[in-house]
Each structure stands twice: as C-alpha cells, then as structure tokens.
Amino acid sequence: MSNQERVVRGRTEECRPGLLTAPVDEDQATELAKVFKALGDPVRLRLLSMIASRAGGEVCVCDLTPAFDLSQPTISHHLKLLRQAGLIDCERRGTWVYYWLLPEMTDRLAGILTRPAGQPLARADRTHSGAAS
C-alpha cells in the first residue's frame, strides 16, 4: 500500500488536485496509471462490472468464470491485477473465494476525472470541427 492519502469520511478525492485542473506530478501519474491500466482490458472491465453490480456486493469466482470464453487461470490472473490495483478485494470462505468492489478507488477515479462545476474550458466554441461554422 504505502498510502500517501488519508481517507476522510470516504470523500477524500474531492480534496485532491484533480488531473484536469493542475498538472499531476510523476509519482501520482505513475500511481494512477497503474489503476487505469488495470481498467484497460475488456475482460477486466466486465469482471469489475459483474462484481460491482452484484446484489449483495460480492461474487464467487465460480459465477464469474463461465461468463467468459477463457481458461480459469486467465480469469484468476485478471482478478489478481484488479486486486493489485486496489479496485477489488477477496476472501476465501470455505471452498469458494468471494470478490467485492472497493468503492474508495472508483470514487477516487471518478473524482479525478470530474472537472470543477463552473470550469468554462475556455474554448468550447472555437475551432471544434463541425461545431463552429
């Protein structure tokens, strides 16, 4: 982990620089890129979506694997990457292993990609191809 953040009441990302408002430094870029890279695969996106949208909040691996045309080790590999990115966590209960979403990370990403409400962006009407005459 080695976390340089402190989660304050689950809304920590609002206090962060924000990616769209100020240039991120190398360290933060490297850290964030690891998470985005984990999301940069269709299989992992579907896995995350299946886990996050599950009623009850958790899914058994045995419910995930048959949804894909991939071998079980491959699914296990993708789940590991999602877990290393801090997007999900898991626990073994008896025979099965259950995964669940860590909403802190998705919240943080959403916050980082959200620009401040009234930011004019300053060129919304200029040389946009097709918009401006």
Partner DNA sequence: ACGTTGCATTGATATTCATCGATGCAACCT
Partner DNA sequence: AGGTTGCATCGATGAATATCAATGCAACGT
**65, interface contact from DNA, a copy of itself, none, CB < 5-8 Å by kind:** DNA
Q: Which stretch binds DNA (CB under 7 A): 13-21, 37-45, 48-56, 116-124?
A: 37-45
Q: Using an 8 Å Cβ cutoff, are 38 and 84 in contact?
A: yes
Subset of residues 88 to 107 that bind DNA, contact rule: CB under 7 A: 90, 92, 94-97
Subset of residues 11 to 30 that bind a copy of itself, contact rule: CB under 8 A: 19-24, 26, 29-30
The C-alpha atoms of residue 86 and residue 82 are separated, in whole angstroms, by 7
Q: What is the DSSP string of 41-97?
A: SHHHHHHHHHHHT-TTSEEEHHHHGGGSSS-HHHHHHHHHHHHHTTSEEEEEETTEE
**6, interface contact from a copy of itself, DNA, none, CB < 5-8 Å by kind:** none
61 sits near a copy of itself (criterion: CB under 8 A): no
Strand partners, 105: none
Question: What is the contact surface with DNA in residues (CB under 7 A)?
Answer: 37, 40-41, 43, 60-62, 65, 69-81, 90, 92, 94-97
